[in-house]
Amino acid sequence: MNTERPSNVSFFDFIGGVQLLQSENTRTAMPVLLIGVCVSGAVGNLLVLLIFIRDFRNGKGSEVKALLASLASTDLVILLLCAPVRAITYYKQTWTLGSFVCSTTDWFQHSCVVAKTLILAFTTRAKHTLIPSNATGGLHNPTWIHGALAFIWIVSMMFPIPQMLFASMLPYGRDNICVSEMPACASDFMSLFYKIYPTATFVVPVIYTVAYYTKTLHTAVNHAPRPQHQSKVILVLLCLSGALGLMLLPEWGTFTWIRLGYSRPPVGLMMFAQVLLYACSSLSPVILMTMYDDVRQGLISIWFIGTCRSKKRVPRKKCPKTEGNGAEVGANAVTNAISPGNEKTFPDVEHFWTGRRNTHVEEDQDPVPWEREEKML
C-alpha cells in the first residue's frame, strides 16, 4: 500500500476496504473469506428470522423475540449489502462501484453496527414472557417496541453522518480510490466528535448491557423461583452482548485511532478487524440456535416440516384393495406372505378358503354333509 496522507488533511483512510495492496495472496484470500462468512451468516440469520416469524404467527411472540428478530435482520443486511462491497474492493484493489456507493457505504455500515449495539442494550428493558393479546400500556404494549426500534435507527443513522460528508473518490492513475479525508480546519471539532461517537454508541451500551445481564444472571440463579428458565434466556443475551463487544472492539479501535490523527495501524490488523465485524453477524444466529430453547425447537420444527414435504413428493405404494368378507382378506394376506409371486400354492388351504367364499356348495363338495341332512329332517 503506497499512499501517503496529504498535508492539508488531518486524517486519511480508505473506505470500503483497504485498497492498493501489493500482495496477490491477499487479493484472493480476503474475498473468498468474506464470501464464505457472508453466505453462512446469511443462511443462519434467515433461519432465525423464519423461526421468530413462525412464533409470532402462532401467538408465541415476546418483546425480546421482537428485538432479536430486528437484530437478525440487521445482521442479514450487513452480510448481504456491506460484506460484498468489501469483497469486490479487495479483489479489484481500486474503487469500481461509483461515487454514490463510495459516499454511503461506510455510513450505512456504521449505522447498522450502531443499531446492533443499541438493540442489545434495549433488550434489558424488554420482557421475556409472551405478549398478551389484551395488553394495554406499559412495556407489554407492542407499540413500545415499534417506538424503540424507530428511535434506535434514527440515532444510528444520525451519528455516522460525518462518514458520508468526508467520503470522496480520488483518481489514482487510470483508476479511482475511495477515501475518507477530513480538512485540517475541522480537526478540532471532529477530534472531540470522534471521542464521543465511539463512547456513546459502543463503549457505554456494551458495558451497560454486559453488566446488567451479569447481575441479572447472578440474581436469577440464586434468588429466582424458577432459575432454570430465566437464567437460560439471560445467558443467551449475555453471550450475544459479550460476543458483540469483543468482536467489534478491533474495528472500533482502528477506526478511532486513525481519526484521532495517530499513525496508521498495521494493514493486517485493519483487515482482521473487518473480518471480525462480519463474523460477529454470522456468530449471532449460531448462539441463538445452540443456546436459545425456543429457537432450537423452532429449527427442529422447520426441519421436520421440510422433511415431511419432501417425503410427500415421493410416490408411495398403495396396498391392494380387496372386496369380500374379512376371511377372504385374511386369506389373501396369508397367501401373499407365505408364497410371494404366487409361485407356490397349498391345495388344502386354497380349497378351504374357496369353500368359505362360495355361498352355494354342491353336495359332492360339501365338507360337512351331516349338517345338511339334519336341516332336511
| List of residues 6+ apart from 367 with CB closer than 8 A | 355
* Average pLDDT for the chain: 79
Half-sphere exposure of 68 (CA within 13 A, CB side): 35
Pairing of strands 167-172, 9-14: unpaired
- For residue 100, how far is the Cα from the chain centroid? 29
C-beta separation of 50 from 302 below 8 A? yes
- 323 torsion bin: left (phi>0), alpha (psi -120 to 50), beta (else): beta
Report which of residues 339 and 108 the model is more confident about: 108
The CATH class of 9-128+142-303 is: mainly alpha
Report which of residues 352 and 103 the model is more confident about: 103
| List of residues 6+ apart from 93 with CB closer than 8 A | 19, 20, 21, 27
pLDDT class of 262 with cuts at 50, 70, 90: confident
pLDDT of res. 347:
52
Across 39-52, average pLDDT = 94
Distances (CA, A) of 58 to 20, 67, 106: 52, 18, 38
62: helix, strand or coil = strand
pLDDT of res. 183:
78
pLDDT of res. 333:
47
Distance between CA atoms of residues 156 and 161, nearest Å: 9
Kindly tell me if the per-residue pLDDT of 65 is higher than 50.
yes
Across 237-260, average pLDDT = 93
pLDDT of res. 3:
52
Total length of the chain: 377
Q: What residue ranges do the domains of the chain occupy?
A: 9-128+142-303
Distance between CA atoms of residues 324 and 344, nearest Å: 23
Give the DSSP H or E segment for 302.
helix 293-312
Report which of residues 283 and 326 the model is more confident about: 283
pLDDT of res. 46:
95
Pairing of strands 167-172, 175-183: antiparallel
Residue 230's nearest CA partner among 238, 220, 240 is: 220
pLDDT of res. 139:
40
pLDDT of res. 55:
87
Distance between CA atoms of residues 32 and 54, nearest Å: 33
Q: What is the pLDDT of residues 103-152, one digit of tens each?
A: 999 999 999 999 999 999 999 988 765 555 444 443 445 678 889 999 99
pLDDT of res. 340:
47
Distance between CA atoms of residues 7 and 259, nearest Å: 15
C-alpha cell at 3: 499512499
pLDDT class of 265 with cuts at 50, 70, 90: confident
Q: What is the pLDDT of residues 294-314, one digit of tens each?
A: 888 888 888 887 777 666 655
Report which of residues 288 and 366 the model is more confident about: 288
pLDDT winner (highest mean) among 52-66, 75-89, 121-135: 75-89
Q: What is the pLDDT of residues 2-40, one digit of tens each?
A: 555 555 555 678 888 888 887 788 888 999 999 999 999
Across 229-241, average pLDDT = 85
| List of residues 6+ apart from 319 with CB closer than 8 A | none
C-alpha cell at 51: 423461526
Q: What is the pLDDT of residues 158-201, one digit of tens each?
A: 999 988 888 888 888 888 889 888 877 777 888 899 999 999 99
Kindly tell me if the per-residue pLDDT of 224 is higher than 60.
no
pLDDT class of 58 with cuts at 50, 70, 90: confident
181: helix, strand or coil = strand
Kindly tell me if the per-residue pLDDT of 317 is higher than 80.
no
Q: Which of 18-22, 56-60, 224-228, 302-306 has the lowest mean pLDDT?
A: 224-228
Report which of residues 227 and 13 the model is more confident about: 13
**pTM of structure:** 0.76
Give, in degrees to the nearest 5, the angle at Cα 208 between 139 and 204.
115
Distance between CA atoms of residues 351 and 368, nearest Å: 14
pLDDT class of 244 with cuts at 50, 70, 90: very high
